[in-house]
A and B are shown apart, each in its own frame.
Chain A
Amino acid sequence: MADLTINNYAMQLDKEHKRARVFTRFRLSDGFFRRCTFSAVMLVLALLGGVMIALAYGSIPAFQAFGLGFFVTEVWNPVTDKFGALAPIYGTVVTSLIAMLIAVPVGIGSAIFLTELCPQSLRRPIGVAIELLAAIPSIIYGLWGLFILAPFVQQYVQPGLISLFGDIPVLSTLFAGPPYGIGILTAGFVLAIMVLPFITSISRDVFETVPPVLKEAGYGLGCTTWEVSRHVVLPYTGVGVIGGIMLGLGRALGETMAVTFVIGNAHRISGSILAPGTTISASIANEFTEAVGDLYTSALIELGFILFIITFIVLAISRYMLLRIEQKKGV
């Protein structure tokens, strides 16, 4: 009898021992896993910081050589080691502007179509098709722009524009020059097609947050579809739509491959939007591997740094706006 108790007691001890061991293992693996996830989060933060620091560090030689004059100088001469960022910055801003002028109305129009007009059964397929447009790699847009769009523009669109605006004072300089096909206008147009899906899908998503009651009230008052969209849906979702537009703008500013193909890579500022130009990203893509000399490389890195800061600000504003519409939805 006594034997049995002792045996039982020993088994009990053994059991508890095992239990304790399992618990310790659980606790250790738990803590380890938690720490792993935490370091991954820190890594994401460090990534952004790292990009900033690395680019800032790389652009020190150029900044020392040119100072703030870098931003207002148009000269870009690798032979004499004189570099200025004005032409790429100008090209980036103008192509993105053209892209937004086309993509914003078209994107919002498509979103209205998708949420108000489209038959229910077609909504999903068309929405998916527009999102697939966003999945196509940018190099494909570039290839298409160079071989299909540019010749078409050169043959049909640009001569028309030149003769149409040739006699009007201001517009004649804007649309001056021989039709090259490639150039700032074509680049802006390709960019517009690229950012269109972003603007469309975000606008559609925010339009869907409008409470049906509001729209029904509008229709109940006898409003037309357009009036409901214009005076109920758009004002309600204004912040979100602007967020989507800014997201598209961020994409357009930083887009590289599509632009590099069709912009023409000329480091000068031309009054005409038919002329070739360059953008920040196109300059980097074209010249970085061929850049000889530290100053040349550093100037290109400084261009990249400027681009990163600009897109960072634009994207931060975009996120802020989209957050506000999300909060509105939550209330």
Chain B
Amino acid sequence: MRTLRQYLQALLNAKKLLAYTFLLCFFLWVTTPFLMILLKSFGRNWFGKLWFPPEFTLDWYKWAITVTNVPEVLRNTLVIAGIAVTISTLIAIPTGWALGRRQIPGKEVIMSTILLPRMIPPIAYALGVAQIFYRLHLIDTHIGVAIAHVAICAPYAILVLSSTFEGLDERVLEAASVCGANNLRTFFHVTLPLVMPGILSSIIFTFTTSYNEFTLTLMTYGPKTITLPVRTYLAVGEGYWEVTSALSMILIIPSLFVLFMIQRQVQPEKLVGGFKGV
């Protein structure tokens, strides 16, 4: 009996060990590239087969900021992301409301049409966008690049918001009005707080999508609208690996910040529901 238990215990431990090993591998697989870029962006005289840079410096960041004009590029990126997020959210709120809460004939067809720009290869889609934008003089304008981004940002927003609104319980809103709240107060005290996490996560997703977007920007940007991903790509072409790494780090920081925000702000269990027995 005892040997059996020990055997099972060992098996269980082995299972645990296996799980942890797997987790560690996964962790390394995800983080090592970041680590390489991080070291590269701070290291000096790091050549050949050395695993660790011999000296550290902040020079590459200074270079990146002055030579590649980071403030301007970052501003472009943020302005474009800002416009893209605003337009996407403005489109997605009514669309998501209609798709989530109304009976609409052909809902599935509408939904897959909305998701189409995400399904086809971005480069093919971007080519078509570029052709239209040349004719409309939208190439190399913030609004133009942002509109191109909306095509892939809005589907995310609509997807997130329609399920947020779908989960909003009509009877909770009715309860508010029976309690004496008029439409405006119901909206501010009940509806808005309940859908806010959904809207926030939609904004975060669309922001990161636009912020990281490369293909669509590549086909629509110009000298005045270079964004960080495109600038990083160009820096690779210029051959300064250290500067490129520094740029990549600058590119990563806001993404990490957003990830942190998601962890803090968006608590899905707070979204809607959480009732027992319903």
Decide whether A and B assemble into one complex. no
Where the two chains meet, the residues of B that have a C-beta atom closer than 8 Å to any C-beta of A are none
Where the two chains meet, the residues of A that have a C-beta atom closer than 8 Å to any C-beta of B are none
